[in-house]
Amino acid sequence: MTPNPYLWLIPVLPLAGAAINGFFGRQSSKKAISTIALVFCGAPFGLALWIAFGFSSAAAPYYFDFAHWIRAGSFQADFSFYLDQLSLVMLLVVTGVGFLIHIYSVGYMWDDDGYYRFMSYMNLFMFFMLTLVLAKNYLLMFIGWEGVGLASYLLIGYWFTKDSAAAAGKKAFIVNRIGDFGFLIALFLIIRHFGSLDFTAVFDKIQPLQPETTGAGLLTSIGLLLMVGAAGKSAQIPLYVWLPDAMEGPTPVSALIHAATMVTAGVYMVARSHVIFERAPGALMVVAIVGALTALFAATIGIAQTDIKKVLAYSTISQLGYMFMACGVAAFSAGIFHLMTHAFFKGLLFLAAGSVIHGIGGEQDMRKMGGLRQYMPWTFLTMGIATLAIAGIPPLAGFWSKDEILWKAYNASWVYWLIGIVTAFITSFYMFRLLYMTFFGDYRGAATVNSHPHNDHGHGPGEPHESPWGMLDPLVILAVLSVVGGFAGYGNRFEHFLAPVFQAGVAELAQEAAGTGTEHLLMGASIFVALLGWGLAYLLYYRLPQLPARIATNLGSLYRAVANKYYVDELYAILFVQPVVDGSATILWKGVDEGVIDATVNNSADSARHVSDNLRHMQSGNLRSYAGWVAAGGAVVIAYMIWMGVR
């Protein structure tokens, strides 16, 4: 490992930006606020690029011990940073996409009253996310982990006067806390058995353990608990429920935090812990199954959503499932590859959706859009590219990473592949559905666009309009990346770059044996289902736009179940939330606390009062008499002492 004294600057710079804007933003001009936010977010990106140019696949990891943090007995956790090929990829994605979305936010949020607050929170998010990515130990990672949750809470509830936004922020924080509970227990297990939380120290101890040895139960437990944490942060079954609600936040937040970066933290954490997972086949299988099921489940919900951001939210959950499925079949680099391309096209999809919402005065319902292609050609063009990319149309980015995952999944089990390909079909369908409903046909919105203060964004009355170039530039850059990003994986270059981290995974050797014939066949299949989904969407939402409503009616309760997200939120409310709240109120508080414990105390006090007339003075309520009682008691005590001394 090579020391690199600049590593700590990468997270700390955005923190400085957040602090400056947080403390002084209220009095500053919007220009000054924007400058601060962009400089302190752009500088880490510059640093990351600078590091990347000097860093190759063969380079030894960088590290930097910044300061001591916790030391108690033999336990220690410090502010130590670490960068290897895996963190470098994450670093570039987070700072790069993050910087673009900061630029976009300047235009998108300019008219909002709390502009300084927004920019400060965004910088704060970057600080925590970069801490998470660059941490050298699990506890520092946990700072970032909980910290991005905080940033997410603040930004989802950014328009706090809206009750739904406030509730969504709280829900996100609490559901994430459930995941963090699992993460914490995993850390305790690691401390208990390996005496440290430092990545290198822990993995060096785990490396020699084999799946067959007695360590398997322990490593499986650790792996499963880490996965609980990952499921919370990355919105997997059963903890995904917060992410759709998180769409209450301003759209740049959805793009940055709830699509491109924060929600991928779970994938990153699992990949970072690959040494543990590779030796815990049971845990790995759970990761794969959870990922596959989430991918399919969330995709089906995406079909029936009418809110443009909700479609993208379920799509994100589904694509994250893809990444976990990849990790679950030990194809970590494929998972990270998809993480990267997904950051490009999903970030772009959200920003473009934001541009649409911005251009029609805050409307998010796709049923009130349509025909927007002519009003906002650049938004349409870029969103179209992103749609092609996510649908898996070659040669765009999504095709390569998705194909890589499907291929690795096939090598593990055809079931994973089948779920993956069905999901790919549904994905293509709902994405083109979104595109047709939004940009084709006739405009179905109000003739004049109303301003919706605090309901995403609005500019007042007018025709639908294209966004200014400050907002479109990031779209164009992300569109370019969505086109060419996939070539990073050409000839397995991406996998080779990450090879020193994943030590050319055990699974890889087996996979190469299956031969290229099958690989090409599967590639053909995935192109086929992508085109099939496109075609179906074209048919239903362009050629025969009356048909979907009739199908929905005919499907009846099945359609309603899907449209209502399978009633999972309602189920959780009945199963968990209500029993806890009602039980605490009626049984614990009114029942046990006031009814039993306190009543006993007061009763025994009452009966004690009746014992003696003298004691009855105690209820006089005159505190001076109590003071007298204490003095008297003290006198008795001292008398007793003296008597003992005399004896």
Partner 1 sequence: MNSESLSRIILTLVTFIPLAGSLLLLLIPRRDRDIKVFALVISLLSFVTSLHLPVHLHRNLAGFQFEIDKLWITSPNIHYHMGVDGVSVWLIVLTTFLTPLCVLISWTSIHERVKEFFILLLILETALIGVFTSLDLFLFYFFWEATLIPMALLIGMYGHGRRVYAAVKFFLYTMVASVFMLAAILWLYAKTGSFDFVTIQNAIRSGSVENFAAAAQWLFLGFFVAFAVKVPLFPLHTWLPDAHVEAPTAGSVLLAGVLLKMGTYGMLRFNLGLFPEQSRHNAPWIMVLALIGIIYGALVSLVQPNMKKLIAYSSVSHLGFVVLGIFSFTNAGLNGAVFVMLAHGVATGALFMLAGILYERRHTYEISDFGGLATPMPLYAAFFLFIVLASVGLPLLNGFIGEFLVLSGAFQARPIYGILGATGVIWSAGYLLWMYQRVFFGKVKHEVNKILPDLNVREKAALWPAAAMALLMGVAPILWLSSIDPAVQSALAPFAQLAAKVVGQ
Candidate segments 33-41, 65-73, 347-355, 508-516, binder of partner 1 by CB under 8 A: 65-73
Per-residue binder mask for partner 1 (CB under 8 A), 607-636, x = binder: -----------xx-x-x--xx--x---x--
Identify which of residues 507 and 618 has a Cβ nearer to partner 1 in the complex: 618
601 touches partner 1 by CB under 8 A: yes
Which string of b and e fits 300-313 if b means at least 16 CB within 10 Å?
A: bbbbbbebbbbbbb
- 332-359 and 265-272 helices cross at what angle (nearest 10)? 170
Q: How far is the CB of 18 from partner 1 (least distance, A)?
A: 13
- Which residues are CB-neighbours of 511 under 8 A, at least 6 positions away? 407, 408, 411
Identify which of residues 182 and 458 has a Cβ nearer to partner 1 in the complex: 182
Identified binder of partner 1 from the candidate list 63, 115, 121, 142, rule CB under 8 A: 142
Beta-sheet pairing, 62-72 with 75-83: antiparallel
Residues 271, 277, 280: CA angle, nearest 5 degrees:
170
Identify which of residues 145 and 199 has a Cβ nearer to partner 1 in the complex: 145
Is the sign of the CA dihedral 40, 46, 49, 54 positive or negative? Answer: negative
Q: Are 366 and 307 in contact (CB under 8 A)?
A: yes
Q: How far is the CB of 511 from partner 1 (least distance, A)?
A: 38
Identify which of residues 73 and 517 has a Cβ nearer to partner 1 in the complex: 73
DSSP 521-585: HHHHHHHHHHHHHHHHHHIIIII-TTHHHHHHHHHTHHHHHHHTGGGHHHHHIIIIIHHHHHIII
User: How many chain residues touch partner 1 (CB under 8 A)?
Assistant: 66
Candidate segments 81-89, 155-163, 242-250, 343-351, binder of partner 1 by CB under 8 A: 155-163
Rg (CA), the chain: 29
Dihedral pair phi/psi, residue 75, rounded to 5°:
-85, 135
- Report the C-alpha gap between 103 and 340 in whole angstroms: 20
Peptide bond into 500 cis (omega under 30): no
Identify which of residues 167 and 507 has a Cβ nearer to partner 1 in the complex: 167
Identify which of residues 58 and 646 has a Cβ nearer to partner 1 in the complex: 646
Candidate segments 69-77, 253-261, 492-500, 517-525, binder of partner 1 by CB under 8 A: 69-77
DSSP 303: H
Residues 524, 525, 527: CA angle, nearest 5 degrees:
65
Per-residue binder mask for partner 1 (CB under 8 A), 553-592, x = binder: ---------------------------xx-xxx--xx--x
Per-residue binder mask for partner 1 (CB under 8 A), 163-202, x = binder: x-xxx-xx--xx--xx-xx--xx-xxx-xx----------
Identify which of residues 198 and 404 has a Cβ nearer to partner 1 in the complex: 198
Read off the amino acid at residue 31: K
Identify which of residues 70 and 574 has a Cβ nearer to partner 1 in the complex: 70
Query: Where do contacts with partner 1 occur on this chain (CB under 8 A)?
Result: 68-75, 139, 142-143, 146-147, 150, 153, 157, 160-163, 165-167, 169-170, 173-174, 177-178, 180-181, 184-185, 187-189, 191-192, 580-581, 583-585, 588-589, 592-593, 597-598, 601, 605, 618-619, 621, 623, 626-627, 630, 634, 637, 640-642, 644-646
